Amino acid sequence: MTATLIVLGSANTDFTVLVERHPQPGETLMGGDLVTATGGKGANQALAAARSGALPVLLGAVGADANGRAMLDALGSGGIDVSRTLTLEDAPTGVALITVSRDGENTIVVAPGANGRLSVESIVPIVRELAGPRTVLLAQLEIPLEVVVAAAEAVDAAGGRVVLNLSPSREIPDALLTLCDPLVVNESEAHDLAGATVDSVDDATAAATALLDRCRSIIITLGGEGAVFASPTGSGHVPAPRVTVVDTTGAGDAFVGAVCAELADGAALKAAVERGVAAGAAAVQWLGAQPPRR
């Protein structure tokens, strides 16, 4: 049976501007030229998975507008199956407003649009049709939580694997956490879950081991320090290569997409994390969430 990678998540049009520094509240700054690109965690992670050799199916929604049409064209040409991506007449395509400072740090405000209109009724029948023992479901939290929960339960019932990127960070039910294999979080998200400081590799390793009581496996990303992982069969740290940082916007999404491409191909967790760290390091060297092919 062929493995299926389902990416359930958001698709946005990203508007990015480079600034010398981020403005203070009430302050106006002049920035560089506006860069328009496709984005959203679901779309970004699906594209990263495709560039890592997978054939992901994107389950999400865009509006029946120019941004939505451009989104589907771009993602389809990037190797993503968008035949199951919904086009909604009653909502615009989601938008992300991004500022990137000269040191590579970013701030992001998202207007979800069609992403917020996804429903259990529209998504779960598609998931049930696609799901099987070799299915990997990758989800994030830029779409309604009830959709993620229902899709995860459907994939788990079919014997598949659930990967949750807990971003943006929010409280989720324990029933969803117990299905995660792995749960993928950054340092602040790990802190929210574990209730402990995560400022170092040792901190992250301890938090990951502790959180195994709540999920099946876990990955904690550490930015320039790489990532740690833990599962019932072992734990470890994968360091990141030193690179010149241009923009951190898409690094986490590149990491997660590459990890899931490897898992869908049958790789062990450590090998998947190694592939993810390499993809994340490559992503920070480009401006925008979806860097060009090289």
User: What is the rounded distance in angstroms from the CA atom of residue 208 to the CA atom of residue 199?
Assistant: 13
For 93-102, 194-203, 283-292, which range has the lowest pLDDT when averaged over its residues?
283-292
Mean pLDDT value of segment 228-239: 94
Closest CA to 153 of 183, 130, 134, 128: 128
Q: What average pLDDT score do residues 50-74 get?
A: 95
> Predicted confidence band at 294 (pLDDT cuts at 50, 70, 90)?
very low
Q: What is the mean pLDDT of residues 56-68?
A: 97
Task: Give me the helix-helix angle, 41-51 and 269-283, nearest 10°.
Answer: 110
Distances (CA, A) of 25 to 22, 62, 96: 10, 31, 19
Round to whole Å and give the CA distance between 6 and 85: 11
Token look-up 């203070």 returns 24
At residue 49's C-alpha, the angle toward residues 81 and 134, to 5°, is 75
CA distances from 75 to 40, 200, 248, 269, 282 (A): 12, 36, 21, 27, 20
Which pLDDT band holds residue 119 (cuts at 50, 70, 90)? very high
Q: What distances in angstroms separate CA 92 from CA 12, 65, 88, one per listed residue?
A: 10, 7, 8
Tens-place pLDDT, residues 192-232: 888 888 888 999 999 999 999 999 999 999 988 999 999 99
pLDDT higher than threshold 50 for residue 251: yes
Residue 249, pLDDT score: 63
Give the 3-state secondary structure percentages of the chain, helix then strand then coil, rounded to 5: 35, 25, 40
In which band, very low, low, confident or very high, does the pLDDT at 110 lie, cut at 50, 70 and 90? confident
Catalytic residue numbers, as ranges: 253
Q: Are 150 and 125 in contact (CB under 8 A)?
A: no
pLDDT confidence bin for 291, thresholds 50/70/90: low
Considering only residues 37 and 81, tell me which one the structure prediction assigns the higher pLDDT. 81
Instruction: Render pLDDT for 5-17 as a digit per residue (tens, 0 to 9).
Output: 999 999 999 899 9
Task: For the chain, give the mean pLDDT.
Answer: 91
